[in-house]
Every structure is written in C-alpha cells, then in structure tokens.
Amino acid sequence: MRGERMTEIHGATGAYAVDALEADELAAFEAHRAVCPTCSREVAEFCETAPKLSVLAGAPPPPLALRTAILTSLADIPQLPPLHGDVQQTRPHLVDELALRRSSRRVRALSVLVAAVSVLALALGGTVYSLARQQAPAAGASADTSLLAAPDARIVPLQLANGAQVSFVVSKSQNRALFVGGDLPSPGLGKTYELWTMHDQAVTPDNLVAGGSDVSQWFHGPISRSTGVAVSIEDAGGSARPTAVQGYVGI
C-alpha cells in the first residue's frame, strides 16, 4: 500500500514539470520532491526538456513596445541580494545533472515545508527548530531552510481582507522573513500585492508578490528592527505608501 503510493508520487514528475498537477497533489508532490533526489533530478531534467517545445509555439514575435516597457522599467525595480554566498563565484556546470535543481521551485517546495512544519508544530507543540531538522534532511543544506532552523523562527498566520490565508515566517536573529501564501487570489489586472514592514508609526515598502498558488516571497528587511508586517494591493510596480491594506500583524 505504502509502496504503491510512493510509486504513484514518483510518477508525478512529468505532470509537475509541465504544471499539470492539481493543487492537492501539487502540495503532496512538492513535499515529496524536497526529500527525494531522484524526483528532484528528473524534474530538473524535464524543466530543461519541456521549454524546447517553444520552437513549435507558432507565436508571433514579442511586440517591440513590450521590450521598451520592460527595459525602461528596470531603473525603478530594486534587485534582490543573493540568497547565500557570492553568486559571482559560481561558474557554469551546465551538464552537472546531479546538481540540477530549480531554485524557484525550491522556494515553492519550501512553502509546502513551511505549511507542513506549521501544522506539525501546532499539533505537537514542538519547536519549529526540531521539526525543521526532521523535515529537511536530504536535499542538502540550503539557506532557505536555515530560516526554519533559526532558534527564534516563528510562523505568524494572517487572513487577508480578500479571504486569503497567508503566513509569515520570521526570524529576527537572522534578520529575515518570508511571506507564504498557499493560494493567493490574483490581485487583479495591473495590480500587485505589496509587502510592508512597520517600525513604530513608520511603514516602509518592502517587496512585491504576484498572486498564484504556493506563493512565497522574501522580505528585504531589515526585519530585526521591525515591529510588524503588512500586505496591501497596489498598482503594478508597487507604491510608496499603502492604499488598499489587506492585513497586518505584529512580529
């Protein structure tokens, strides 16, 4: 029985790589993939293969106005710092298949891990620290999971005005925080979610988040000095002050 189920979940690599899994199975598979190097590797390979189909898309070329819009907007878009280490040191190992894993997907896997950890933490009353160590053994040490392993890591749930259930994973000692949404409704055309940090009466714009399932986004911070975090919906590109606040919570 258990063996069958495991075979079944291994078989989901293809559907996962082409985004064909439904939400419930997506969550189960991501939790599995985070600890299964075989599936992780196969997904990475499929993620190299599937985009090759793009040559058959039969699409018109991207409009020139799109190029202009994207390139002229760069100056206003802050770039995120590296997650860990000095990326400039990393040189291409393009066929290093064993190491292949998708970083963006790992963040999504992390959100599932976060959900799993929070449920277990509630159920067992245990510490996030010990659970995080049990949950994330195989895939290799990563700076992502180190947030969960911080002794002061906390998961703060919040229901937004639009009904979405989100959480913040906060570690003041690490000066980091992660926003996680299992199923975040689209903020609307031309709109974006915006994250804010609060310190006393001051509210500081922090980062932007698109809607979607299994969304996660880091805060720029600083988190160690912040007393709260907030989420609002703003025009695409973000706003300097919050207009349509969806919720806030102390940290």
Partner 1 sequence: MTLYAVPSGPGDTSRPSGAPDATDVRQSEAAVLVELVLSSASGDQDAFADLYDRTSGRVYGIVWRVLRSTDHAAEVTQEVYTEVWRQASRYEPAKGSVLAWIATMAHRRAVDRVRSVTRQVARDDHYAVSGTGREVDHVWEGVEQRLDAQRVRKGLESLTPIQREALTLAYFGGLTQTEIAARLQLPLGTVKTRIRDGLIRLRDALGVEA
Q: For residues 170 and 47, what is the distance between their CA atoms, to the nearest angstrom?
A: 31
- The candidate with the shortest Cα–Cα distance to 182, out of 205, 216, 208, is 216
Q: Is 131 left (phi over 0), alpha (psi -120 to 50) or beta?
A: alpha
- Separation of alpha carbons 6 and 139, rounded Å: 18
- The nearest distance, CB 192 to partner 1, in angstroms, is 9
105 three-class SS: helix
Q: Does 81 sit near partner 1 (CB under 8 A)?
A: yes
Instruction: Give the per-residue contact string, 99-138, with partner 1 (x = CB under 8 A; - = no).
Output: xxxxxxx---------------------------------
Which contiguous run of DSSP H or E holds residue 128? helix 128-135
Question: If binding means CB under 8 A, how many residues of this protein chain bind partner 1?
Answer: 70
Which are the contacts of 132, defined by CB distance < 8 A and separation ≥ 6?
113, 117, 145, 148, 149, 153
Tell me: does residue 79 bind partner 1 (CB under 8 A). Answer: yes
Look up tokens 């799109």; give the residue. 66
Place of tokens 């207009």: 243
Q: Which two tokens stand for residue 29?
A: 């598979």
Applying the rule CB under 8 A, the residues between 82 and 101 that interact with partner 1 are 82-83, 87-88, 90-96, 99-101
Residue 186 buriedness (CB in 10 A; 0-12 / 13-18 / 19+):
exposed
CB of 42 to partner 1, least distance (A): 8
37 binds partner 1 (CB under 8 A): no
Residue from 146, 204, 213, 239 binding partner 1 (CB under 8 A): 213
Which positions from 132 to 171 touch partner 1 by CB under 8 A, shown as an x/- string? ----------------------------------------
Q: Is 53 in the site for partner 1 (CB under 8 A)?
A: yes
235 forms part of the interface with partner 1 (CB under 8 A): no
Closest separation in Å from C-beta 57 to partner 1: 4
8 A C-beta contact, residue 209 and residue 164: no
**Of the candidates 125, 189, 240, 250, which one interacts with partner 1 according to CB under 8 A?**
189
55 scored as a contact of partner 1 (CB under 8 A) = yes
Kindly list the residues in this chain that would bind partner 1 in the complex (CB under 8 A).
Answer: 8, 11-15, 17-22, 44-63, 65-67, 69-71, 73-75, 77-83, 87-88, 90-96, 99-105, 186, 189, 210-213
